Amino acid sequence: MSVGKVVLALDGMGGDHAPDVVVDGADIARERYPGSSFLLFGDPARLKPLVDRRKGLAQVLEIVPAADAVTADDKPSFALRRRRQSSMWLAVEAAAQGRADTVVSAGNTGALLAISMVAMRMLPGAHRPALASFMPTSRGETVMLDLGANLECDADNLTQFAVMGSVFAQVLLGLSEPKVGLLNVGSEELKGHEELRQAAEWLRREGSPVSFHGFVEGNDIGTGIVDVVVTDGFTGNVTLKAIEGTAKLLMGRTGLVREAFRTSTFAKIGYLFAAGAWVKLSKRVDPRRYNGGVFLGLDGICVKSHGGTDALGFAYALGVAVDMVRYEYKSKLVEGLAKLHELTATAETPALQTGGGGA
């Protein structure tokens, strides 16, 4: 597939506002990413009228019938066994079999992970997939993973996640040597779980495929002191949601800042003057701009959009998928993981308590 031409498989029935948001998002992405084309999986009776309403979209989009759909309540195991004819399964399969370069779904996260693992399998050297996304910091953007694919992680997992995240930051943020930090309760070498200390020891070795900064703490995420924050899926999920919750508490429509602007006439006048600056700031921290979680480590590119996003947010998720294809995420990751394997397979010290010799 030549650079510039990217075929995206879309789960037309996944997400709270499907299929409308999926079709409208594809229409925005069509203009933003010229050369893109789409395979849209789902119920043709519902999809065709939406596509036809958008001038020009039908030229770059093909509807592929899918008789079934994964629901938000489906357990991953159920979706895996019983939703073989769903728009999600068929879209993932298209990307796994090379008919598309990537798949994007706003549907059930657990089901998407399970189906992708079965249909795409893992890249050599990657044991488990990690869910990654990026978030705003005072310096720009930081990649964080795992955001919930693996509740418990050993040193091998964390080390591989570091490589996955580093390559993702290279591709998505255009950084040549992203700085990687391991999330911990302190920045000293002796802090934290044994798994974390082992992972840090590996990443510090000469020849490490990542530029390792060391341990970082929760408050370092927002400062952007590192470009990639690595943690286990339990901590990552809770932390990401806590950050989103705090931003909403302060900056949301009914948040404390807006509330403060309503407390007096003076404040209300102040808000009128400052409204332009406020809108600009709101845009900068707009969660839609950070939409598009990615399952890294799979032998395929699978992007998960927020279920509740709108067309603009969905288009951002499509942009993540396009960039990962164009800038050859997969082949770069394979290289990085091979380097990691060399690193952890050699010079293993018997004193180390955790098992496992890398990939």
- When binding is defined by CB under 8 A, the residue of 231, 291, 305, 344 that contacts a copy of itself is 231
- Tell me which stretch binds a copy of itself (CB under 8 A): 3-11, 157-165, 277-285, 331-339: 277-285
Binding to a copy of itself by residue 237, rule CB under 8 A? Answer: yes
Binding mask 115-144 for a copy of itself (x = CB under 8 A): ----------------------xx------
Count of beta carbons in the 10 Å neighbourhood of residue 277: 9
| Residue 178: other Cβ atoms inside 10 A | 22
- Calpha distance 198→182 (Å, rounded): 11
**Quick check: 185 binds a copy of itself (CB under 8 A)?**
yes
**Contact call for residue 148 and a copy of itself (CB under 8 A):** yes
List 35, 76, 222, 287, residue binding a copy of itself (CB under 8 A) = 222
Stretch that binds a copy of itself, among 44-52, 114-122, 268-276, 349-357 (CB under 8 A): 268-276
Cβ distance to a copy of itself smaller for residue 2 or 219: 219
285: contact with a copy of itself by CB under 8 A: yes
Per rule CB under 8 A, is residue 247 in the interface with a copy of itself? Answer: yes
CB of 293 closer than 8 Å to CB of 113: no
**3-state DSSP of 232-299:** CHHHHHHHHHHHHHHHHHHHCCCCHHHHHCCCCHHHHHHHHHHHHHHHHHHHHCCHHHHCCEEEECEC
Nearest to 10 by CA among 252, 1, 28: 28
Asked if 67 is part of the footprint of a copy of itself (rule: CB under 8 A), the reply reads: no
Least distance from C-beta 191 to a copy of itself, angstroms?
9
Q: Interface with a copy of itself by CB under 8 A: which residues? A: 137-138, 148, 151-152, 183-185, 192-193, 217-223, 231, 233-235, 237-251, 254-257, 259-261, 263-264, 266-267, 269-278, 280-281, 284-285
